[in-house]
Amino acid sequence: MLLRAVIQNLAQGVVALVWMAGLRRLAAALAAPAWSDLLRRAVLLPPLLLAWRLAGLPTLPERLSVFRADEWAVLVGEGGVATAVVAAALLGGTVLLFLFQEVVPALRSRMRPQPATESADDRLDAALARVLAAFRAAGWTLPRGRLPRIFRLEVDDRVSALHGFAENRIVLSRGLLDQLDDQELDGAVAHELAHHARGGNLRLFGVWLARCLQAFNPAVLALFREFVEAEEAACDAVAARVLDRPAALASAILKAHGTPAPAPADATPWRRARAEVVRRANAAATRDRVERLLKPSRPWAAPPLFVTGASLLLALLLWSLG
């Protein structure tokens, strides 16, 4: 049963990844928020379909299934030691990536002895008021409940983030605040408010939980990472649209992420190499975000029927995999 579930999940992850890649080529003009929504569903659907099956809800008979997970489970189960070793290496390696690249850094940041203090800041309050007014003027409905508050984080690093689950807080570090003019600041605040408007950390956490359940699946790893980038692009698109100043937001992104701090001089070669890899990856991601903002060729609003229809097609495709 477990082996069958793992094989079905692997198949669904790979097919979802290939389907998304194909759709990207065919419907390249789709807006960033729509891509993010589709990727989120691609991560959520496999565990939901497993729950569907476990609940005894209708599934295709084995002989009609596009992918016969039962028979593949039997084949792998009878595969002997070599198959077991290859499978363990593939799945175990992906779990290790998940642990060391996601869980351990998250735990470390939680276990910091003294978190930086957060203070109120008149300039930030004024920026939030301007951005909220712009959201309302653009007809954007913010989630019900308390509006996020905004604080200055007393650190020299350049940080801009949305904190909290039930009550969201926008935090901008002193180091970043000192670098930004008012238009850039509005852009940064609008980006974080867009995260809040799109469900905030609670929704991201839900997707991450689904990703945890599939920690062994390399295809879901790729889908989740693509989703995280797409979500940033979606919030950039929302912020640029609401403020109608994409260049200011691009400038704020460059100031926040453009020149990451190098590894300390006394760092070990391994740490220096790791810092360099991270620096290059971040630089590439920043360049993509800035280019997207400065070449706004994509339509703002994704056709809702297309996104709903595409999501249904994906759900049907993954359901047909057994």
Partner 1 sequence: MKRLASTLKALLWTIVLAAVVLAADRLLLGPSRSVGWVVVGSVRALERSMEPVLLPSYLPEALSWPPARVFRRDGRRPGWWMEIEPRRTPGPVLWLGIGSPVPDAMRAAARCLPASTPSGCAPPWHQLSRSFDGRTAWVISTLAPTELERVLDGLKRR
Sheet containing 169-173: give its strands across: 118-119, 149-153, 169-173, 160-163
Q: Does 45 bind partner 1 (CB under 8 A)?
A: no
Of 51-59, 135-143, 247-255, 260-268: span binding partner 1 (CB under 8 A)? 51-59
Q: Does 142 bind partner 1 (CB under 8 A)?
A: no
Number of residues that bind partner 1 (CB under 8 A): 40
Q: How far is the CB of 81 from partner 1 (least distance, A)?
A: 11
Nearer to partner 1, 26 or 111 (CB): 26
CB atoms within 10 A of CB 247: 14
Q: Measured between alpha carbons, how far is 21 from 18 in angstroms, rounded to an integer?
A: 5
Contacts of 287 (CB under 8 A, 6+ apart): none
In the numeric block, the tokens 């203090």 are attached to 117
Q: Could you say which residues in the range 280-309 bind partner 1, by CB under 8 A?
A: 303, 305-306, 309
Kindly report the backbone phi and psi dihedral angles of residue 62, in degrees, each rounded to the nearest multiple of 5, phi listed first. -55, -40
Q: How far is the CB of 41 from partner 1 (least distance, A)?
A: 14
* Inter-residue long-range contacts of 226-230, CB under 8 Å, 24+ positions, other chains counted: 226/20, 226/39, 227/36, 227/39, 227/40, 227/42, 227/43, 229/285, 229/288, 230/32, 230/35, 230/36, 230/39
- Applying CB under 8 A, among 6, 10, 15, 194 the residue interacting with partner 1 is 15
Q: Could you say which residues in the range 56-115 bind partner 1, by CB under 8 A?
A: 56, 62-63, 66-68, 70-75, 77-78
Of 19-27, 177-185, 191-199, 286-294: span binding partner 1 (CB under 8 A)? 19-27
Nearest CA to 249 among 164, 185, 155? 185
Please give the angle made by the CA atoms of 231, 234 and 237, to the nearest 5 degrees: 155
Q: How far is the CB of 116 from partner 1 (least distance, A)?
A: 46
Residue 269 is which amino acid?
Answer: P
Q: Does 35 bind partner 1 (CB under 8 A)?
A: no
Of 17-25, 154-162, 172-180, 282-290: span binding partner 1 (CB under 8 A)? 17-25
Q: What is the CA radius of gyration of the chain?
A: 22
**C-alpha 291: how far from its chain's center?**
19
Nearer to partner 1, 93 or 309 (CB): 309
Q: Does 54 bind partner 1 (CB under 8 A)?
A: yes
Q: Does 260 bind partner 1 (CB under 8 A)?
A: no
Q: How far is the CB of 25 from partner 1 (least distance, A)?
A: 9
Where on the chain is the footprint of partner 1 (CB under 8 A)? Answer: 1, 3-4, 11, 15, 18-19, 22-23, 26-27, 29-30, 53-54, 56, 62-63, 66-68, 70-75, 77-78, 303, 305-306, 309-310, 313-314, 316-317, 320-321
